[in-house]
Amino acid sequence: MDVDRTKAPPVVRGLEKRKACDLCHIKKIRCDTKKPVCGHCVVYGAQCTYTPHIKKRRAEVKVKTSVTTSVQITSTDDHPVNPVAETVSVLPAHSDLIPRLTDYFTHLNSILPLFDPSVLSEIVSDPQSPSLVAAANVILALTYKNRATTLPPLPSFDPETCTKTATRLLDDADTVPSSLLTLQTLLGLLVLQLSSPHRPLHTTALLARSVALAYHLGLHQHQNNTHFDAPTVQTRIRTFWVLYILDHDINTRLSNPPLLRPDDHDIPPFESAVGYGLIPLSLSSPTQEQSFDYMRARIQLAHIQASIYEGVYSVRATSQSSPDTCTENIHDLLRSWLLLIPAQLGPDRLSSLSEEDDIPSVVLKRQLISLYFSYVACFMHAHRVGTHEAEWIGRLAEYSQGLIVTNSSLSPRSSGWKAPASGWGDVVAAARDGARLMRAVERDDEGLVWNTTCTYISASLVLIANLLTISESTSSGYQEDTTGLDIDSQLVTECLSYLENAASRRPTTDEGIKRMFAAISELGCRARIARARFLVERGGQGQGQEKGEGVRWLEAEARKSAAWSARMLVEAFTGAGVKPLVTRVAGRRGTVGDGCLMST
Q: What is the pLDDT of residues 179-233, one digit of tens each?
A: 899 999 999 999 999 888 767 788 899 999 999 999 999 998 888 888 889 999 9
Measured CA to CA, the distance from residue 392 to residue 307 in angstroms comes to 21
- What is the model's pLDDT at position 29? 77
Half-sphere exposure of 276 (CA within 13 A, CB side): 15
What lies within 8 Å, CB to CB, of 236 at 6+ separation is 180, 217, 219, 225, 228
75 vs 29, higher pLDDT:
29
Domain limits of the chain?
Answer: 1-89
Residue 360: band (very low, low, confident or very high) from pLDDT cuts 50, 70, 90? confident
Report whether pLDDT(244) > 90. yes
Residue 484 phi, psi dihedral angles, 5° rounding: -80, -5
Q: What is the CA radius of gyration of the chain?
A: 29
In 476-511, where does DSSP find H-type helix?
484-505
Measured CA to CA, the distance from residue 561 to residue 519 in angstroms comes to 11
Residue 575 phi, psi dihedral angles, 5° rounding: 80, 180
Interval 417-446 mean pLDDT? 80
Residue 121 phi, psi dihedral angles, 5° rounding: -70, -30
Instruction: Name the average pLDDT for the chain.
Output: 75
Condensed to tens digits (0 to 9), the pLDDT of residues 144-175 reads 999 999 898 888 888 999 999 999 888 876 67
Measured CA to CA, the distance from residue 206 to residue 563 in angstroms comes to 42
Report whether pLDDT(578) > 50. no
**Segment among 46-55, 81-90, 211-220 with least mean pLDDT:** 81-90
- What is the model's pLDDT at position 7? 45
Using a pLDDT cut of 70, give the percent of the chain over it. 67
Report whether pLDDT(305) > 90. yes
Condensed to tens digits (0 to 9), the pLDDT of residues 258-301 reads 999 888 888 889 999 999 999 988 756 666 668 899 999 999 99
- What is the model's pLDDT at position 549? 55
Measured CA to CA, the distance from residue 337 to residue 333 in angstroms comes to 6
- What is the model's pLDDT at position 11? 42
What lies within 8 Å, CB to CB, of 176 at 6+ separation is 130, 131, 134, 169, 170, 182
Local structure of 228: helix, strand or coil:
coil
In 254-358, where does DSSP find H-type helix?
294-308, 315-318, 324-338
- What is the model's pLDDT at position 591? 33
Largest Cα–Cα distance of the chain, in whole Å?
A: 108
CA distances 488 to 40, 399, 422, 471, Å, are: 63, 19, 20, 12
Interval 423-443 mean pLDDT? 89
Report whether pLDDT(560) > 80. no
Measured CA to CA, the distance from residue 373 to residue 370 in angstroms comes to 5
Could you tell me whether strands 291-293 and 277-280 are parallel, antiparallel, or unpaired per DSSP bridges? antiparallel
Report whether pLDDT(356) > 70. no
- What is the model's pLDDT at position 217? 92
Condensed to tens digits (0 to 9), the pLDDT of residues 71-84 reads 332 333 333 333 32
The β-bridge partners of 273 are 276, 277
- What is the model's pLDDT at position 544? 41
94 vs 479, higher pLDDT:
94
- What is the model's pLDDT at position 40? 75
Residue 87: band (very low, low, confident or very high) from pLDDT cuts 50, 70, 90? very low
Measured CA to CA, the distance from residue 310 to residue 251 in angstroms comes to 12
Measured CA to CA, the distance from residue 392 to residue 570 in angstroms comes to 9
Residue 561: band (very low, low, confident or very high) from pLDDT cuts 50, 70, 90? low
- What is the model's pLDDT at position 600? 38
The β-bridge partners of 274 are 278
What lies within 8 Å, CB to CB, of 506 at 6+ separation is 513, 514
Using a pLDDT cut of 90, give the percent of the chain over it. 28
Within 10 angstroms of residue 32's Cβ, the number of other Cβ atoms is: 14
Measured CA to CA, the distance from residue 136 to residue 43 in angstroms comes to 20
